[in-house]
């Protein structure tokens, strides 16, 4: 397994991710479920970027699909990141696409699930990036 290392860029991405998660919770509390879902997805996207950079991958795709594919190849397929948790990222990505591009509003339950997924992914990333004693 590739050794993880910490950089200022990784720390900054994780801080931005944490802020997106906070905004998702605030939007949820305001019953703005579309924004809550969108911010939860951005939290996960930033977290995936941080994990990839921590593994030494500095050329990241500009598209959502490309990022998901690179993440799967470098973290999921190598068993560095749990497959079951990664499946939730795909689910969240499909929720986000529907919320952004279809003429519907996100339901409370989907927004709640999106925030849980964001919390789980962010928590796992923090665990993975924590220096081992």
pLDDT at 48: 97
Cα-Cα-Cα-Cα dihedral sign, residues 42, 44, 47, 48: negative
Structure tokens at 131: 């220096």
pLDDT for res 5: 53
> Does 76 score more than 60 pLDDT?
yes
Instruction: Please give the pLDDT value at position 35.
Output: 95
| Predicted TM-score of the model (pTM) | 0.91
Identify whether the C-beta of residue 78 lies closer than 8 Å to the C-beta of residue 2: yes
Q: Are 34 and 99 in contact (CB under 8 A)?
A: yes
pLDDT at 64 (0 to 100): 87
Residue 131: per-residue pLDDT? 75
Q: Whole-angstrom Cα distance, residue 104 to residue 110?
A: 12
- Looking up tokens 């500095």 gives 58
H/E segment holding residue 11: helix 8-29
132: confidence class by pLDDT, cuts 50, 70, 90 = low
The confidence score (pLDDT) of residue 4 equals 53
Residues 33/110, Cβ–Cβ less than 8 Å: yes
pLDDT tens for 32-57 read 999 999 999 999 999 999 999 999 99
Q: Which of 95, 35, 97, 86 is nearest to 63 (CA)?
A: 97
| CATH number of the structural domain 8-129 | 1.20.120.330
User: For residue 105, what is the DSSP state?
Assistant: P
pLDDT digits (tens, 9 = 90+) for 81-123: 999 999 999 999 999 999 889 999 999 999 999 999 999 999 9
Using DSSP's 3-state secondary structure scheme, residue 124 falls into: helix
Q: How do the domains of the chain map onto residue ranges?
A: 8-129
Position 58 scores a pLDDT of 83
């Amino acid at each position: 397994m590739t050794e993880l290392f910490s950089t200022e860029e990784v720390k900054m991405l994780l801080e931005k991710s944490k802020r997106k998660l906070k905004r998702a919770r605030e939007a949820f509390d305001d019953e703005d479920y579309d924004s809550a879902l969108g911010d939860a997805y951005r939290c996960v996207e930033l977290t995936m970027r941080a994990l990839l950079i921590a593994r030494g991958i500095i050329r990241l795709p500009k598209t959502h699909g490309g990022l998901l594919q690179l993440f799967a190849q470098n973290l999921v397929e190598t068993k560095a990141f749990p497959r079951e948790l990664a499946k939730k990222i795909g689910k969240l990505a499909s929720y986000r696409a529907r919320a952004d591009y279809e003429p519907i509003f996100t339901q409370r339950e989907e927004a709640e699930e999106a925030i849980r997924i964001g919390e789980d992914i962010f928590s796992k990333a923090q665990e993975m990036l924590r220096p081992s004693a």
